[in-house]
Structure 1
Amino acid sequence: MTTEIGSVLRGSRILPVLTVPDPDTTHRLTEALAAGGARCAEVTFRTPGAERVLATMVAHGGLTVGAGTVLTRDQAERAVATGARFVVSPGYDEDVVARCRELGVPVVPGIATATELMRALRAGCHTVKLFPAEPLGGLRMLRALAAPFPQARFIPTGGIENSHLDSYLADPAVLAVGGSWMATATHLERGDYAEIRRLTAESLDRSTP
């Protein structure tokens, strides 16, 4: 039986979304996130070294780590083999969802329309990623979708900034908020791990009732 994504996230309502160009920085990044109180993270499969980044974070042991930007069955298989505890996709793909179910890992497909949400719900995916959240209309779009589908829970991701966090977290349809504001490309390029730790801690503090 596949574990629900809410349990895997360990109750955290903040999901750091990480695109790490240099795998050699992973250990320090993981330490900064963990020191800031993060309990989970999503490593996007957008870089050649993504599997190495994922493996390093998993080996660290301080975070529940999943794979993001998973587009194919093969990527899902490789991510899970590397240690991913959950899989996130930017869109709804039946093959990816089916393979994750076979592998016994939670999958969060991306949706951008009511039609895609209906397909996800029909497949048993009651938690979806609203992507790209802000370009789609942000919280207004999320609420418009949540109204006719009260059984759906959302992890809005895409274009979300620190300033948007409180309003998203206040919505009962939001399970968690995904974003990269606490560990941006600039932070990683500069090696500003103290700022990553500070922003992570601030976000986690705001997400706690």
Structure 2
Amino acid sequence: MQKTDRLLQILTGQAVIPVVAVDSIQEGVGLARALAKGGLKAIEVTLRTPAALEAIEAIVVDVPEAICGAGTILKPDDYTNAVKAGAKFIVSPGATVELLDTAKKSAIPFLPGSATPSELLAMLQEGYEVLKFFPAEQSGGLSYLRSLAPVFQGVKFCPTGGVSPDNARDYLALPNVVCVGGSWVAPKALIKDGAWDEITKLAAEAAGLSAD
């Protein structure tokens, strides 16, 4: 199976991809279990904390039902270290020549971010048709994505940034949106408190979202 197909399999498996930051291995494992229990098996652990890579490694080993990816990948070392930790997919808010070169050499699928027509053209030239749209709301949101659809036919997006239960269905209704990324399913306060049952409940609600 090609990398793009594997990435699409992950992204189409659930309407919402949780985008989370954790401060410890214990938080990461507990959170991944709670989200998977609620139906959100794919999770993006962002490299925004010192514990992120160790947490990804622990999730891969201790929560086999989860599909753990790594986000906030800003440089090649981030990509390489995340893959070593066992990440099943890699997400970046943008793309550089160096990141794209690293992605080409890796067997792990890459979801690069693109927000402008020029960036989209560059990504298409590199062979990417599945992209992150970030920050979604601040970059024009629903109307912007809607305007891109007739021009960039075949390109699919995972909008992230400002997506919430209030607008997620509207994003999912767009023909060029394959899923959305969101942090609301795992509020920081609930993670800190270890309120896994509450997070499982939020995950189950998010898992049930659709464009309908």
Cα distance in structure 1, aligned partners of 2:3 and 2:120: 20
Q: Which amino acid in the other structure matches residue 70 of structure 2?
A: A
Task: Give RMSD over aligned pairs.
Answer: 1.6
Cα distance in structure 1, aligned partners of 2:177 and 2:16: 11
Asked if 1:103 is matched to 2:100, the reply is: no
1:12-31, aligned counterparts within 5 Å? 12-31=14-33
Partner in structure 2 of residue 121 of structure 1: 124
For residue 147 of structure 1, report the CA deviation from its aligned partner: 2.4
Cα distance in structure 2, aligned partners of 1:86 and 1:14: 15
SS of 2:138's partner is helix
Q: Which runs of 5+ in 1 are unaligned?
A: none
Asked if 1:32 is matched to 2:31, the reply is: no
* Residue 92 of structure 2, aligned match among 66, 77, 89: 89
Aligned positions, number: 209
Partner in structure 2 of residue 51 of structure 1: 53
1:145-199 deviation per Cα after TM superposition (whole angstroms, max 9, x unaligned): 2221012100000111111111111111111111111002222123222221111
Cα distance in structure 1, aligned partners of 2:29 and 2:91: 22
Partner in structure 1 of residue 13 of structure 2: 11
Q: Which amino acid in the other structure matches residue 8 of structure 1?
A: I
SS of 1:112's partner is coil
For residue 132 of structure 1, report the CA deviation from its aligned partner: 0.2
Q: Which amino acid in the other structure matches residue 3 of structure 1?
A: K
Q: Which amino acid in the other structure matches residue 48 of structure 1?
A: P
Q: Which amino acid in the other structure matches residue 49 of structure 1?
A: A
Q: Which amino acid in the other structure matches residue 17 of structure 2?
A: L
Do the aligned partners of residues 124 and 142 (structure 1) sit closer, same or farther apart at CA in structure 2, a change above 3 Å counting? same
Cα distance in structure 2, aligned partners of 1:126 and 1:94: 17
TM-score, structure 1 as length reference: 0.94
Contact 2:90 2:109 in 1 (8 A): yes
1:52-75 deviation per Cα after TM superposition (whole angstroms, max 9, x unaligned): 111111111011111100011111
Cα distance in structure 1, aligned partners of 2:208 and 2:199: 14
Partner in structure 2 of residue 141 of structure 1: 144
Moved over 3 A (4+): none
User: Percent of aligned positions with the same letter in both sequences?
Assistant: 38
Partner in structure 2 of residue 198 of structure 1: 201
SS of 1:168's partner is helix
For residue 8 of structure 1, report the CA deviation from its aligned partner: 3.5
For residue 10 of structure 1, report the CA deviation from its aligned partner: 6.0
